[in-house]
Structure 1
Amino acid sequence: MEKIQKIKGFADLFPPDSGVFSFIEQTARDVFSRYAYRELRVPVLERTELFARSIGEETDVVQKEMYTFPDRKGRSLTLRPEATAGVMRALIEDKRTGEGLQKYFAYGPMFRYERPQKGRMRQFHQIDVEAVGSPDALLDAEILLMLDHYLRALGLNNLSVDLNSLGCRQCRPVFLEALREFLKGMHKEQLCEDCMRRKLTNPLRVLDCKVPQCKEFTADAPKITDHLCPECAAHFDVVKSALDTAGLRYVLNPRLVRGLDYYVRTTFEIVSGDIGAQSSVAGGGRYDGLVASLGGPDVPGVGFACGMERLALLIDRDMTAAPDFFLTVLDAAGLSHGLQLAQELRRAGFSGEAPFAAKSVKSQMRAADKSGARFCLVLGTEELAAGTVVVKDMRAGGQETVSQDMLAAFLRARREEAKGE
Structure 2
Amino acid sequence: MAIPAHTHPTETDLPDASEEVLSASVNAHRGRGRAAGLNMAGRYEKESRDSFDDGWGSLDELPPLKTHVQEERARTIITRNESPDISFDRSINPYRGCEHGCIYCFARPSHAYIGLSPGLDFETHLTVKPNAAELLERELSSPSYSPRTIAIGTNTDPYQPIERERKLMREILSVLDRCNHPVGIVTKSALVLRDLDILAPMAERGLVRVALSVTTLDRKLARAMEPRAATPAKRLEAIRGLSQAGIPTSVMIAPVIPALTDSEMERILEAACENGATGAGYILLRLPIEVSPLFRDWLLRHRPDSFRHVMNLIRSMRGGKDYDAQWGKRMRGDGPYAKQLANRFALACKRLGLNRSRKSLTTELFIPPTAGGVQLQLF
TM-score by length of 1: 0.20
Q: Which structure shows the bigger proportion of residues in strand conformation? A: 1
Query: Higher relative CO (CA 8 A, sep ≥ 6), structure 1 or 2?
Result: 2
Structure holding more helix per residue: 1
